[in-house]
């Protein structure tokens, strides 16, 4: 199982349920996953980030980098 580092509090954890995925908005031109250790950090991220100010990415781009991700616990991903 992948070890994640919470984007907000920097805690290391496994079994991620919440994450940001750059598939959904046009801020990033590459795929970025930002895991959150739980609801408090996921909520805090919504407050501190400006991602919602960017238009949605529709239609979704093609290519292996942009496949729908339903579970980040068993994949390698890029974060920042
Ligand atoms: Zn956290």
Prediction pTM value: 0.91
Give the 3-state secondary structure of residue 51.
Answer: helix
Which residues have C-beta under 5 Å from ligand 1, the single-atom ion?
6, 8-9, 11, 37, 41
Report d(CA 66, CA 55) in Å as an integer. Answer: 17
Confidence of residue 78 (pLDDT cuts 50, 70, 90): very high
Report d(CA 47, CA 71) in Å as an integer. Answer: 24
12 — phi, psi (to 5°)? -95, 135
How much distance in Å is there from the Cα of 10 to the middle of ligand 1?
Answer: 6
Confidence of residue 16 (pLDDT cuts 50, 70, 90): very high
5 — phi, psi (to 5°)? -115, 120
How much distance in Å is there from the Cα of 59 to the middle of ligand 1?
Answer: 31
Per-residue pLDDT of 18-46, as tens digits, reads: 999 999 989 999 999 999 999 999 999 99
How much distance in Å is there from the Cα of 2 to the middle of ligand 1?
Answer: 16
């Amino acid at each position: 199982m992948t070890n994640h580092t919470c984007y907000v509090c920097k805690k290391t954890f496994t079994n991620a349920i919440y994450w940001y995925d750059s598939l959904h908005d046009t801020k990033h031109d590459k795929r970025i996953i930002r895991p959150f250790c739980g609801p408090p950090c996921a909520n805090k991220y919504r407050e501190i980030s400006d991602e919602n100010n960017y238009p949605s990415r529709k239609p979704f781009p093609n290519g292996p980098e942009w496949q729908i991700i339903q579970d980040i616990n068993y994949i390698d991903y890029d974060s920042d």
